[in-house]
Amino acid sequence: MSVPVIGAGLAGSETAYFLAEHGESVLLIDQKPKLSPAHHSANFCELVCSNSLKSDDVYGNACGLLKEEMRRLGSLTMRAAEACRVPAGGALAVDREAFSAFVTRVLRTHPNITVVERECTELPERGVVATGPLTDGGLFREIARRFGTLHFFDASAPIVSAESLDRSACFAQDRYGRGTGDYLNCPMTQAEYERFTEELVSAERAQLHTFEKGEIFEGCMPVEVMAARGKDTLRFGPFKPVGLGEGKRPYAVLQLRKENAAGTSYGLVGCQTNLKFSEQKRVFSLIPALKDAEFERYGVMHRNTYLNSPDCLNADFSAKDAPDLFFAGQIAGVEGYVESAAAGLLCGYHVLMRLRGKPTVIPPMTTVSGALSRYIATPNRDFSPMNANYGILAGGFEGVRDKKERRRLLAERALEEIGKYRDTLSV
């Protein structure tokens, strides 16, 4: 009997591929080519908010370490990311169209995967729900009825045409010289920055109601909300000039990151926004390098849905009241592209063990994979989705004062443990 996997985003794609690669028949159900308000492509595994998968530093960044753990566990999305990589300094960024096409091609041509194009409105008795943060309609109501749901609001950043940029008003450089000049930097004087932030804060937003405190996720804070917190908030955040420029440091800098391998499109880093489209054009064009910019895609805001996982999920992502029903990805209480994909990959391991009559095994707390797994199942009165970070890793090496050395030791231990975990599962 085929295993139903509902949703072909990052998590569902990982789960479906892992099970199929290990000989299981998979029924992959996705509503595409019908699109949600936040999607733009009929392909699977679409990256909606950004083309960046964050830092690729295995020994100095928790998300970089998680990506390496995933590679060692056989991740499809990490293989796709490597094949579709675009220069981004110390980050792993991808040509998002090529990335989605890569994953779609692999899944649609896999002999053990049957793709069904329809909207799912009911929870299966067994299988994997990986419908992501935009879960809606009948399925949303069914999940809410049975498990209860929470949500926050998320935003994406605009994308501009490379040929429309004023190259005389920007320069190529990666922060602190890391990389090969993969970012374009748009400097601003104090006067230019202050005018920009004033117009940004007062600009008309696409949604007129005020979001309640806690509904906007800090990791994807709209730039206009961030700017309203204080005149220097952006200058010490996404517009910080530290590590950029030669000689005199600019007052503030907007960074642009390549959206595709050809470098014909650039995304505005840290500029997730909920402004009306006409206001985005007006306000961002105040930045000298963007004065004549052509916007290929405007930023949008959308609802992100997730379970109160500690109340209803186990650390293997199975439902507490239905051990054969699993939830993977952001709906399960992790946050971010990489974390969602990792949850899908781990879910594949757990489902396979269940199918083979074996107990599920959670990765050690000394790995980022294991720490995230336990986070979603640990009682928490103020639960919210979690990114990969060192704070959730099991302790150790407290006597090592040098942060860089301590993180290197944590990474070496995690990679050793994830290797043992992979080998002991005997899949």
3 neighbors 25 (Cβ within 8 angstroms): yes
Burial of 273 (0-12, 13-18, 19+ CB in 10 A): buried
Q: Band of the pLDDT at 217, cuts 50, 70, 90?
A: low
Distance CA 308, CA 159 (A): 33
Which are the contacts of 232, defined by CB distance < 8 A and separation ≥ 6?
A: none
| Type of residue found at 14 | E
161: β partners: 265
What is the spatial distance between Cα 149 and Cα 140, in angstroms, rounded to a whole number?
8
Q: Which residues of 226-253 are buried (b: 16+ CB within 10 A; e: fewer)?
A: bbeeeeebbbeebbbbeebeeeeebbbb
284-337 pLDDT per residue, tens: 999 999 999 988 888 878 777 899 999 999 999 999 999 999 999 999 989 889
Percent of the chain with pLDDT over 70: 94
Looking at every residue in the chain, the average pLDDT score rounds to 89
pLDDT digits (tens, 9 = 90+) for 57-86: 999 999 999 999 999 999 999 999 999 999
Q: CB within 8 A of 39, min separation 6: which ones?
A: 32, 46, 48, 134
Structure tokens at 306: 């997730």
Single-letter residue type at 258: K
Domain ranges within the chain, ordered by starting residue: 3-151+305-425, 159-299
pLDDT in tens, 227-272: 999 999 999 999 999 989 877 889 999 999 988 777 888 999 999 9
What's the CATH code, domain 3-151+305-425?
3.50.50.60
Question: What CATH number is given for 159-299 in this structure?
Answer: 2.40.30.260
Tokens encoding 15: 């789960």
Q: Are 201 and 274 in contact (CB under 8 A)?
A: no
SS3 (DSSP) at 336: coil
